[in-house]
A and B are shown apart, each in its own frame.
Chain A
Amino acid sequence: MSNSDILEPQKWIERYADLLLGYAYPRVNRQDVAEDLVQDTFFSALKAQDTFRQESSEKTWLIAILKRKIIDYYRKKSTQNELNVLTEANGNDGFMNHFFEKEEKYDGHWTDDSAPRSWRKDFETKVETDEFYDVLRKCLGKLPEKWSAAFTLKNIDGLESDEICKELEISPSNYWVIMHRAKLQLRECMEKNWYTE
């Protein structure tokens, strides 16, 4: 049997469009981008029917193509500028000085404004609401592209640091700095917009 007997491109949209969109959306956090990535996936798949191996299902194969598209999107979106500031782990730039006092003077302690506060008690019963996920999506969206990409690859796709470095074409030291900053910013954003009453 040739691939054309197994693949049924005329039925792809009906069968997989929503499924692929559901896969892409939480990884890019933008409906228009997710839709474009799905469309690109179908076109690429159409052209690459010869590469389909019968051991995998049509669905798995399409998702694998979409995964590559998402990674390409992450790579393209992040500019070199985002990385230039990130060479120093504990840099004294504006971002870090917002969160921490300078080491020489105040021992790198949290600043008064940014020190974590206890979150409201009822948050565990409220986190599953749509409003909560709206805030989370917005806060993830506020991170620079490469930061949210790294955070997403780690927490949604469960990748380890060395794989993420490879996919995003960054150095390990950049990765640790990115994750540090992404967590600081995300946590603060959630605290300001959701957890404090």
Chain B
Amino acid sequence: MHGKKLVYGMKGFNKILICCKQATYLHEKQREGKLRFFERMGLAIHLLYCSFCKLFIKQIEQLETCTKQYQQIQENKNKFSSSRKAELQKVLNEAMK
């Protein structure tokens, strides 16, 4: 009985120690609250000691913020050339006839 319990315990322990590859994979799922118990624990423990993965997550978050800003900037920046616009108007007029 006792031995069996110990084996189960070890199984859980193995699941809890995850590597950088898994940690960076689980990060996205974690943000949507889609981790199982062991995965959640595993990621939290990994991030306690792994400075690379902590840095990875921080930098990804910075890049995501930049991507949002990029979109806002582009929305006001990109324009049709006046010749392209005239051309477009012409074909659209044709289609409206």
Task: List residues of chain A with CB under 8 Å of any chain B CB.
Answer: 9-10, 12-14, 17-18, 21-23, 25-27, 31, 34-35, 38-39, 42-43, 46, 89-90, 96, 99-100, 103, 107-110, 115-119, 127-128, 132-133, 136-137, 140, 151-152, 155-156, 160-161, 176-177, 179-180, 183-184, 186-187, 190-191
Contact = CB atoms under 8 A, between A and B. Distances in A.
Contacts of A133: 70, 73-74
A90 B25 contact: yes
A157 B19 CA distance: 31
B25 to A, nearest CB: 5
Given A100-B20, A133-B70, A176-B25, 6 more contacts: A9-B96, A39-B88, A107-B19, A110-B52, A116-B59, A137-B70
A16 to B, nearest CB: 11
Nearest to B64: A155
B25 A136 contact: no
A35 B24 CA distance: 37
B95 A46 contact: yes
Nearest to B81: A35
Contacts of A21: 78-80
Contacts of B67: 136, 140, 151-152, 155-156
B53 to A, nearest CB: 8
B5 interface: no
Interface in B53-97: 55-56, 59-60, 63-64, 66-71, 73-80, 84-85, 88-89, 91-93, 95-96
A110 B20 CA distance: 6
A153 B84 CA distance: 28
A41 to B, nearest CB: 11
Interface of B: 19-22, 24-25, 28-29, 32, 34, 52, 55-56, 59-60, 63-64, 66-71, 73-80, 84-85, 88-89, 91-93, 95-96
Contacts of A96: 21
Contact of A13 (B28, B75, B77, B88): B88
Contact of B24 (A43, A46, A184): A184
B92 A42 contact: yes
Given A21-B79, A116-B56, A176-B29, A100 B96 contact: no
Contacts of B77: 22
B21 A100 contact: yes
A103 B19 CA distance: 8
Contacts of A27: 71
A13 B78 contact: no
Contact of B69 (A23, A35, A128, A191): A128
